[in-house]
Amino acid sequence: MRSRRGPWCSASPSCATSGSSQRRDWCLRFGTVPSAERLPGNRAPKNPKTVAPSAPGGSAYRDEVLKWCAEAGLDAAGVAPAIPLERARAQIESRIEHDLVNGMKFTFWRPERSVRPDLLVEGARSIVVGARSYAHSDPPVEIDGPVARLARYAWIDHYGDLKRSLTEVAAQLRRDGHRATVFADDNSVVDREVAHLAGLGWYGKNANILVPTKGSMHVLGCLVTTADLPALPVVEDGCGACSRCIPACPTGAIVGPGVIDANRCLSWLLQKPGVFAPDHRVALGDRIYGCDDCQTACPVNKRETLREPPPGARAGIDVLALLSADDRALAEVSDTWWVHDRDMTWVRRNLLLVLGNTADPADRRVASVLTAHLAHEKSVVRAHAVWAAARLGLDELIEPLRSDTAPDVSAEFARLPALRHDL
């Protein structure tokens, strides 16, 4: 069960205020986010400090709330106490200390906030955690040319559906006299930890939450409420001796059970701005956003029955078409992804890497888009176009750039012998 962000993500003030839905591999809205009370569905009551003295609670009421969750379309739900997340804080501090974060921030940015769900709503007593499945079968892909693959959770806006479901439940809690605020795709709370404490599932060795019999292909969100709802029991570990997810990672980013090295994780590297790590470009293959390998290798996920793809689901991207498009068209296609500062430079960079890994160099369209990007105004784009052309053996295209003095481009030419050795 994953967030669009992943365990660590980059803060971006523009993301928080843009109003668009932005996604990460793992990863929702990144960086600084608006106050939860200002988000749609979190309208505060006229007197937010007052809770009806007769507001219901207890086990029977909790079961009623869980029934509302199912009726609102959540595929799994649970209840956790609104307490400090001490284990999550220790894990965050350890990851930072061991240099496993690689610039990602999100809940790692302000752990004193993200591990204190008890402070998000005054008088908070409980956290209702919900999950929506994205375990869908592959929709048809009919593209003439190289195709860039999207991670399954990014095929449609699953987080939008999740927020709507949680907002319905929050509204019913408010009608009963409680305060309730929704947090999904938000850096205010470590959602995997509250999901674990709410009894939704256990931590897999790939760091995702696995719902018993349903697997990890879910997006997570929660609502914090003043309602007194007894917590559900924590689910015990179900992985046992299985460790199939660890060798399944194409870059060896799972460095220990439940420990991800963001310096190697393709999901994060695709979102991180700057030059894409040279050592992991070939392993990237055809991925444009996210990576599902550690999930598809999991036996629990293999047992989950895949649903029909929802309307509008898109598993693949036409690489040549997008590289031929302007930034406005790129922004429309990537509207539900998390892109640093909404800068289409990073989308072009990723598309060029996929082009280099998958295109047919005999296709004249390939040389055309490469030529255009070798003349791009941004040196980081030119640099990745150099790599793609060299990987495809189109050396004649890059010769004119040998005089390019931009550091990014010079570094690519310096690495060409190593690239050719790898080939």
Q: Which residues pair with 317 in a beta bridge?
A: 148
Answer whether 102's CB lies under 8 Å from 270's CB. no
Query: Could you give the angle at which helices 364-374 and 345-358 cross, rounded to 10 degrees?
Result: 140
- For 32, the 3-state DSSP assignment is coil
Answer whether 263's CB lies under 8 Å from 7's CB. no
- Asked if pLDDT for residue 173 goes beyond 60, the answer is yes
The two counts, helices (H) then strands (E), for the chain are 19, 11
The pLDDT of residue 50 is: 56
Rounded distance, CA 367 to CA 389, Å?
8
Rounded distance, CA 224 to CA 123, Å?
10
Q: Which two tokens stand for residue 127?
A: 């956290």
The pLDDT of residue 351 is: 98
- Asked if pLDDT for residue 8 goes beyond 60, the answer is no
Cα angle 236-246-8, degrees, rounded to a multiple of 5: 80
The pLDDT of residue 15 is: 37
pLDDT: is 151 or 43 the higher one?
151
Band (pLDDT 50/70/90 cuts) for residue 109 is: low
Active site residues: 185
Burial code (b: 16+ CB inside 10 Å, e: under 16) for 45-75 equals: eeeeeebeeebbbeeebbeebbebbeebebb
pLDDT, average across residues 57-76: 97
Q: Which residues pair with 182 in a beta bridge?
A: 223
The pLDDT of residue 35 is: 39
Measure Cα distances from 96 to 8, 29, 112, 151, 382 in Å: 10, 21, 14, 26, 33
> For residue 306, which amino acid is it?
L
- Using a 10 angstrom Cβ sphere, with 0-12 exposed, 13-18 middle and 19 or more buried, the burial of residue 17 is exposed
Q: Kindly report the backbone phi and psi dihedral angles of residue 15, in degrees, each rounded to the nearest multiple of 5, phi listed first.
A: -65, -40
Rounded distance, CA 5 to CA 92, Å?
15
Segment 19-42, tens digit of pLDDT: 333 333 333 322 323 334 444 445
Band (pLDDT 50/70/90 cuts) for residue 9 is: very low
pLDDT, average across residues 177-200: 94
In this structure, of 115-129, 130-144, 364-378, 407-421, the range with the lowest mean pLDDT score is 407-421
Q: Which two tokens stand for residue 222?
A: 């929660």
Q: What do you get for the CA distance between the two ends of the chain, in Å? A: 36
- Using a 10 angstrom Cβ sphere, with 0-12 exposed, 13-18 middle and 19 or more buried, the burial of residue 43 is middle
In this structure, of 43-52, 72-81, 139-148, 355-364, the range with the lowest mean pLDDT score is 43-52
Q: Which residues pair with 386 in a beta bridge?
A: none
What does pLDDT average to over the chain? 86
Q: Which residues pair with 216 in a beta bridge?
A: none
3-state secondary structure 201-245: CEECCCCCEEECCCECCEEEEEEEECCCCCCCCCCCCCCCCCCCH
Band (pLDDT 50/70/90 cuts) for residue 185 is: confident
The pLDDT of residue 23 is: 34
The pLDDT of residue 83 is: 96
The domain limits of the chain are 13-132+156-225
Please state the separation of Cα 288 from the chain's center in Å.
13
Please state the separation of Cα 169 from the chain's center in Å.
24
> For residue 39, which amino acid is it?
L
- Asked if pLDDT for residue 17 goes beyond 50, the answer is no
In this structure, of 183-192, 255-264, 293-302, 396-405, the range with the lowest mean pLDDT score is 183-192
The pLDDT of residue 86 is: 92
The pLDDT of residue 108 is: 52
Band (pLDDT 50/70/90 cuts) for residue 119 is: very high
Segment 322-339, tens digit of pLDDT: 999 999 999 998 888 878
The pLDDT of residue 320 is: 98
- Asked if pLDDT for residue 191 goes beyond 80, the answer is yes
Segment 341-399, tens digit of pLDDT: 889 999 999 999 999 999 999 999 999 999 999 999 999 999 999 999 999 999 999 99
Count, residues in the chain: 423
- For 398, the 3-state DSSP assignment is helix
Percent of the chain scoring above 70 in pLDDT: 84
- Asked if pLDDT for residue 272 goes beyond 70, the answer is yes
- Asked if pLDDT for residue 418 goes beyond 80, the answer is no
Q: Which two tokens stand for residue 324?
A: 């031929």
Kindly state the helix (H) or strand (E) to which residue 194 belongs, with its residue range.
Answer: helix 191-197
Rounded distance, CA 75 to CA 305, Å?
13
The pLDDT of residue 419 is: 72
Q: Rg (Cα) of the chain, in Å, rounded? A: 22
pLDDT: is 42 or 201 the higher one?
201
Rounded distance, CA 318 to CA 323, Å?
9
Answer whether 127's CB lies under 8 Å from 223's CB. yes
3-state SS of the chain: helix, strand, coil percent to 5? 40, 15, 45
